[in-house]
Amino acid sequence: MIFMSKFPFKTQKTAQKVSDNKSTSILLQAWYIRQVMAWVYTYTTIWLKVLDKIKNIVRDEMNNYWAFETLMPSLAPRELWEITNRWDNVDVLFHIPAANNKEYALNPTHEEVVTPLMWEFIKSYKDLPMCAYQIQSKFRNEKRAKSWLLRWREFIMKDAYSFHADNKEFENYYEWMKQVYSNVYNRLWLWNDTYIVKADWWTFTDKYSHEFQVKLDIWEDVIFYDKISKEAFNKEIAPCIIPTPNIKDNELKERQDIEAIWVIWVEALSKKLWVPAEKSTKTMMFDADWKFIVASVRWDYDINTLKLQKIIWCKNLKFASPEQVKEKTWSEIGYAWLYNLPENIELYIDDSIIWLTNFETWTNKTWYHSINVNFDRDVKEPAKYYDFKEAKLWDRNPETQEIYEVFKASEVGNIFPLETKFSSAFNLTFLDENNKSKTPLMWCYWIWVSRLMWVCAEYFLDENWIAWPEQIAPFTNYIVIIWEENIEKWIEISNSLWLDKNEIIIDDRQNVWFWQKMNDAELLWIPNIIIISPKTLEKGWYEMKKRWEKESNFINL
Amino acid sequence: MIFMSKFPFKTQKTAQKVSDNKSTSILLQAWYIRQVMAWVYTYTTIWLKVLDKIKNIVRDEMNNYWAFETLMPSLAPRELWEITNRWDNVDVLFHIPAANNKEYALNPTHEEVVTPLMWEFIKSYKDLPMCAYQIQSKFRNEKRAKSWLLRWREFIMKDAYSFHADNKEFENYYEWMKQVYSNVYNRLWLWNDTYIVKADWWTFTDKYSHEFQVKLDIWEDVIFYDKISKEAFNKEIAPCIIPTPNIKDNELKERQDIEAIWVIWVEALSKKLWVPAEKSTKTMMFDADWKFIVASVRWDYDINTLKLQKIIWCKNLKFASPEQVKEKTWSEIGYAWLYNLPENIELYIDDSIIWLTNFETWTNKTWYHSINVNFDRDVKEPAKYYDFKEAKLWDRNPETQEIYEVFKASEVGNIFPLETKFSSAFNLTFLDENNKSKTPLMWCYWIWVSRLMWVCAEYFLDENWIAWPEQIAPFTNYIVIIWEENIEKWIEISNSLWLDKNEIIIDDRQNVWFWQKMNDAELLWIPNIIIISPKTLEKGWYEMKKRWEKESNFINL
């Protein structure tokens, strides 16, 4: 029970514009949060109540499906992270220098802690499946803490780790976890706009690797959704084909090599050469694990390096240096294409170029373009076209030919496989039914708890308020006392309403206008506003206004 | 609700001896905890339940007395800690190197965060008093993580910060907070053995600076308790007088200077010189803020530098170097005393030496002692005697002359003044009743939440178990199902008992002996054990055994 007369974190009369983001402005105005440094916040009492309610929903659902809550430490010795070879290879890992020349990791995730914890416990196939989780602050040494919900340095996460005897056993378990996620987002009233999105995690298998994304206009992930197949893909990995197929020209024109000094951008180029973007091409050179490769897409697309990397199946894919380009193509960087290219270089051509005729390309000669280039005649038609273009609006799903629905979304959770990466590193084994030693498979389940709070704030944003659903509203009942004399008596009456005392704000402030109290109740979005006044009390009533209803009710005491 | 058939953190048949400490062995055996590194633990589900219950008791009591819960971040920018001049001066502060040449503090305490948070809120005396708290993991870069509960690198703490217009207003508030503490320890059944101990915090005033210590044989703090005045002191600051006064000899013997090469320790010395320890003295030389001083106590006492520092009222007190000693006394280190000492050196003599006659002392000459030294005759009687000896068993309280009760205890909380150190540094001001700008006083209130868990475990240690009180037992009810066929039916019956589902463990394990199940219930110390068997069920009964009672009860379903 909070008495407003004593409550320090009072609402402000005007919202602070800190971003284009209205929900944050309201959170600041209503004193839910205060920033300590970029994207690191103090939660005041009100925000903490929302956090606790969301945590309890997550906890409740996890517990229902045989996941067991634990609390692992934030500090871990450097040695644990060296066992998995991640001390130097996870760039967001904070390294903490400590007394006696020790170093600790400030864990951004807890595979290095949970896996050795299981040594004692996972001994037989009978001990599997098994899942431990925690809800806890995580830390990431982000180069640039990004706006909103991405790339925070400190945030609260639910991270769960499961262990399995084999894939089949896991598949059953996966269904449970998917149920947990759907239950959680359902209870938060987000489920109708939550998409299970295929995503790419590290370089592990992508089966059973999913993001849970809430459709929200202002957030940064872009989702490609196929209404027919109900499949959703993160832009980062969305397979795609161009909206309408390239049409072959009837006549193959004569190739021309044209000098175009300082004309680099496609708009200027197409103006000069009279070639539309759809008939131009774009080529990049890459260093793929020290192998030199060339990749081309239609000018109006970008190369998605993640998709390309998967095709080449290489560990490190980076742009070739100007020196490498010059060495291989004898031209400055930016003039490469398959035409005129030395024969020993591997070519990857995106299917956006399929059937293209009379097209434009750079020509491996500084300042020179070629137009009216054609396959077979000028360049050998490739044996295979690939899909490594970055998907765009109006692109289609290659499987169903359906045009994607494209929208922004915010990731609120994910599930991804760890395979045996960590169980192998820590020598975690169990005996199977035949008494043979095996390494358990691991899976990982994250729910971005603190991000969920911000997503809810934005998702439930009304014209003027954050219209929290009752199950996560900071408090359920706001009791307005409008006649201040004999305040003890009114408080006594409030107590007699038999409400959960953790769910009550009593606005007992003296010398504060009735409408100011009502405004605060509305700004904080407390679902039930109870008004105790001498007038109605005479009749033995109190007034109850539910935020979702227009009219008040008068209820017998 | 936990089903034992699925529960991973099973008890072990034998306790692991990890220390002389029995309660930890039980915590390990019953899988409450696992160590990640020295004194950094993972909490499994069971320990987490105890933590949550203790947290909720603390939270509940704090909320009742107008303290408001918040959650401040663990990371803070270096700049905040520089404002208070603590970045380089708090030796346990972890400095975290971060991307873009930034540095963060991993907060061991949150004055640097909470004080600027109040800028927006504390504007008038009407906004005071005000108190914000949080329950959160804290981090300390301890050189040597000490055994048990002291000096951990990561632990959970309740830290509260209050702001006050003046001392008088604070004094009222202090009474509330003392009530909170007594309520918390009372609800944990610790209050009868909790002592409010005077302690020294930094160099601030010691009024209203208290530690709360639970009497426990195995812990490291030593408490001096006066049964008459009910005052308790930490050994670090306990004022004391010697048990029986020194008795003047009737005859003053002739002083002798004796060479005693390589005889340094008092036992050897007293043997050689035939002088008992009570007639020997010990003198140390100090550098007190660059002033050279000499302090003497009776040989059987140690010098308590904290007490001495308070007497001298200096910032830095350290032992003088051998060079300094030689320069001042012309002898090697270890031979100093007031006899023969140059006149310009300040002397401090402890009252353990008062009335001493015919006593022994080093004599400012290498290898030389003097015996039968006497005041007035050989050395000028000091104008004043001080009390800077370290208190020992049988010492008395100078105020009451009462012999102290001395016992070991563990600190579970404290209250101490921050005065205006932080509010000044952050320029936090308010307008008083006369519209004058003033700096608020601050106080600080810690409860060592995770340490409390360990203290409870030790405090409630029975012959074989940790006999948790029901309010903090990990679960309240342990349901043993003893006939495994048709297990769904028994679970259904369990459900029908209308128990809080968060408080139930159902032991539905198949092929596990009844007595093993009972043993586990007892090892985990679940207060109510409910046995569902076909036999009693026939009669419409179930069996309930309360851990605190000898006999079972049979209860109608």
- pLDDT per position as a tens digit, A12-62: 776 665 666 788 888 888 888 888 887 788 999 999 999 999 999 999 999
Q: Same domain for B216 and B108?
A: yes
Whether pTM > 0.80 for this model: the answer is yes
Answer yes or no: is B246 within a domain. no
Q: Which residue of A has its CA nearest to B96?
A: A96
| B191-209 core/surface letters (b: 16 or more CB in 10 A; e: else) | eeebbbbbbbbeeeeeebb
Mean pLDDT value across residues A472-481: 92
Answer yes or no: is B2 within a domain. no
Q: How far is A250 from chain B (nearest CA, A)?
A: 57
How far apart are alpha carbons A320 and A305 in whole angstroms?
A: 13
Q: Which residue of B has its CA nearest to A40?
A: B73
**E-assigned strand segments in A332-396:** 346-349, 359-362, 368-373
Under an 8 A CB cutoff, do B41 and A73 touch?
Answer: yes
Q: Spell out which residues of chain A touch residue B132, defining contact as CB-CB under 8 Å.
A: 8
> Confidence class of residue B425 from pLDDT cuts 50, 70 and 90?
very high
Q: Which residue of A has its CA nearest to B155?
A: A73
* The pLDDT of residue A202 is above 60: no
CATH assignment of the domain containing B329: 3.90.960.10
Q: How far is A520 from chain B (nearest CA, A)?
A: 16
Q: Are strands B94-98 and B75-77 parallel, antiparallel or unpaired?
A: unpaired
Residues 6 or more apart whose Cβ sits within 8 Å of residue B359: B275, B279, B280, B281, B353, B371, B372, B373, B374
Residues in a beta bridge with B294: B285, B347
| A133-168 core/surface letters (b: 16 or more CB in 10 A; e: else) | bbbbbbbbbbeebeebbbbbbbbbbbbbbbbbbeee
Q: Same domain for A295 and A230?
A: no
User: ipTM greater than 0.85, yes or no?
Assistant: yes
Answer yes or no: is B169 within a domain. yes
> Confidence class of residue B260 from pLDDT cuts 50, 70 and 90?
confident
Residue with tokens 């951008």: A265
Residues 6 or more apart whose Cβ sits within 8 Å of residue A138: A107, A108, A109, A154, A155, A156, A157, A159
Mean pLDDT value across residues A222-249: 92
Under an 8 A CB cutoff, do B48 and A36 touch?
Answer: no
Mean pLDDT value across residues B277-296: 88
How far apart are alpha carbons A214 and A185 in whole angstroms?
A: 9
C-alpha separations of A58 from A134, A135, A445, B45, B279 in Å: 10, 9, 12, 15, 71
Q: Which residue of B has its CA nearest to A91?
A: B99
Residue with tokens 């089966």: A207
Range of weakest confidence among A74-78, A309-313, B217-221, B223-227:
B217-221
Boundary of a domain, candidates A354, A373, A392: A373
Q: Same domain for A144 and A65?
A: yes
Domain of B447 in residue numbering reads as 18-239+406-458
Q: Which residue of A has its CA nearest to B127?
A: A8
pLDDT of residue B104: 96
CATH assignment of the domain containing B108: 3.30.930.10
Nearest to A8 among B2, B34, B121 (CB): B121
Boundary of a domain, candidates B373, B392, B416: B373
Q: Spell out which residues of chain A touch residue B512, defining contact as CB-CB under 8 Å.
A: none
Q: How far is A216 from chain B (nearest CA, A)?
A: 27
Mutate to test the interface with B, among A70, A133, A164 (most CBs of B within 10 A): A70
- Token couple for B204: 């601030």
Q: How far is B166 from chain A (nearest CA, A)?
A: 18
Mean pLDDT value across residues A112-116: 96
How far apart are alpha carbons B431 and A544 in whole angstroms?
A: 39
Nearest to A8 among B75, B106, B130 (CB): B130
Mean pLDDT value across residues B14-27: 73
Q: Spell out which residues of chain B touch residue A504, defining contact as CB-CB under 8 Å.
A: none
pLDDT of residue A137: 95
Q: Quick one: which of B435, B408, B420 has its CA closest to B232?
A: B408
Asked whether A237 and A205 are in contact (CB, 8 A), the reply is no
Answer yes or no: is A327 within a domain. yes
How many CB contacts within 8 angstroms connect chain A with chain B?
140
**E-assigned strand segments in A99-220:** 102-106, 130-139, 154-164, 194-198, 210-215
Mean pLDDT value across chain B: 87
Answer yes or no: is A18 within a domain. no
Mutate to test the interface with A, among B14, B35, B42, B52 (most CBs of A within 10 A): B42
Task: Give, as one character, the DSSP assignment of residue B426.
Answer: T
- Token couple for B225: 């308790």
Mean pLDDT value across residues A320-346: 75
Asked whether A490 and A508 are in contact (CB, 8 A), the reply is yes
* The pLDDT of residue B521 is above 50: yes
Asked whether B367 and B289 are in contact (CB, 8 A), the reply is no
Mean pLDDT value across residues A546-553: 83
Q: Same domain for B38 and B156?
A: yes
pLDDT of residue B113: 96
How far apart are alpha carbons A149 and A452 in whole angstroms?
A: 9
Residue with tokens 């006939």: B483
Q: Same domain for B73 and B186?
A: yes
pLDDT of residue A243: 94
Own/partner long-range contacts of B331-336 (Cβ < 8 Å, ≥24 apart):
B331/B364, B331/B365, B331/B366, B332/B366, B333/B285, B334/B264, B334/B362, B335/B362, B335/B363, B335/B364, B335/B365, B335/B366, B335/B367, B335/B368, B336/B283, B336/B284, B336/B285, B336/B294, B336/B362, B336/B364
- Token couple for B374: 């006497």
How far apart are alpha carbons B409 and B234 in whole angstroms?
A: 9
Query: Treating both helix axes as pointing N-terminal to C-terminal, what angle do B167-187 and B45-64 enclose, rounded to 10 degrees?
Result: 140
Answer yes or no: is B517 within a domain. yes
Under an 8 A CB cutoff, do B70 and A96 touch?
Answer: no
Answer yes or no: is A307 within a domain. yes
Asked whether B419 and B446 are in contact (CB, 8 A), the reply is no
Q: Same domain for B82 and B226?
A: yes
Under an 8 A CB cutoff, do B69 and A77 touch?
Answer: no
Q: How far is A503 from chain B (nearest CA, A)?
A: 13
> Confidence class of residue B203 from pLDDT cuts 50, 70 and 90?
very low
Mean pLDDT value across residues A536-546: 85
Q: Same domain for A435 and A532?
A: no
Mutate to test the interface with B, among A12, A34, A57 (most CBs of B within 10 A): A34
Q: Spell out which residues of chain A touch residue B139, defining contact as CB-CB under 8 Å.
A: 74-75
Q: Same domain for B164 and B296?
A: no
Q: Which residue of B has its CA nearest to A79?
A: B37
Range of weakest confidence among B123-132, B227-236, B439-448, B538-547:
B538-547
- Using only C-alpha atoms, what is the Rg of chain B? 30
Mutate to test the interface with B, among A16, A39, A40 (most CBs of B within 10 A): A40
The pLDDT tens digits of the residues spanning B92-101 come to 999 999 998 9
Q: Is the peptide bond before A129 cis (omega within 30 degrees of 0)?
A: yes
* The pLDDT of residue A144 is above 60: yes
* The pLDDT of residue A485 is above 80: no
Q: How far is B502 from chain A (nearest CA, A)?
A: 9
Under an 8 A CB cutoff, do A66 and B130 touch?
Answer: no
Domain count, chain B: 3
Q: Same domain for B353 and B427?
A: no
State percent of chain B over pLDDT 90.
50
Q: Same domain for A411 and A324?
A: no
Nearest to A73 among B8, B36, B130 (CB): B36
- Token couple for A27: 């959170």
CATH assignment of the domain containing A537: 3.40.50.800
Task: Give, as one character, the DSSP assignment of residue A380.
Answer: P
pLDDT of residue A213: 94
Asked whether A488 and A460 are in contact (CB, 8 A), the reply is no
Q: Please report, as a single letter, which amino acid is at residue B499.
A: L
Q: Same domain for B80 and B119?
A: yes
Name the most confidently modeled range: A107-116, A302-311, B165-174, B354-363.
A107-116
* The pLDDT of residue B330 is above 90: no
Which position has the higher pLDDT, A101 or A331?
A101
Residues in a beta bridge with B407: B223
- Token couple for B393: 């068993």
Q: How far is A74 from chain B (nearest CA, A)?
A: 8
Q: How far is A192 from chain B (nearest CA, A)?
A: 30
Q: Quick one: which of B338, B324, B341 has its CA closest to B290?
A: B324
Residues 6 or more apart whose Cβ sits within 8 Å of residue B337: B281, B283, B294, B296, B361, B362, B363, B364
Under an 8 A CB cutoff, do B48 and A34 touch?
Answer: no
* The pLDDT of residue B204 is above 50: no
Q: Same domain for B52 and B187?
A: yes
pLDDT of residue A435: 96
pLDDT of residue A267: 63
Asked whether B341 and B294 are in contact (CB, 8 A), the reply is yes
Mutate to test the interface with A, among B12, B14, B40, B506 (most CBs of A within 10 A): B40
Q: How far is B322 from chain A (nearest CA, A)?
A: 27
State the DSSP H helix or E strand holding residue B362, giving kind and residue range, or none if neither: strand B359-362
Q: Spell out which residues of chain B touch residue A154, defining contact as CB-CB under 8 Å.
A: 73-75
Mean pLDDT value across residues A142-156: 72
Answer yes or no: is B182 within a domain. yes
Name the most confidently modeled range: B114-123, B258-267, B285-294.
B114-123
> Confidence class of residue B78 from pLDDT cuts 50, 70 and 90?
very high
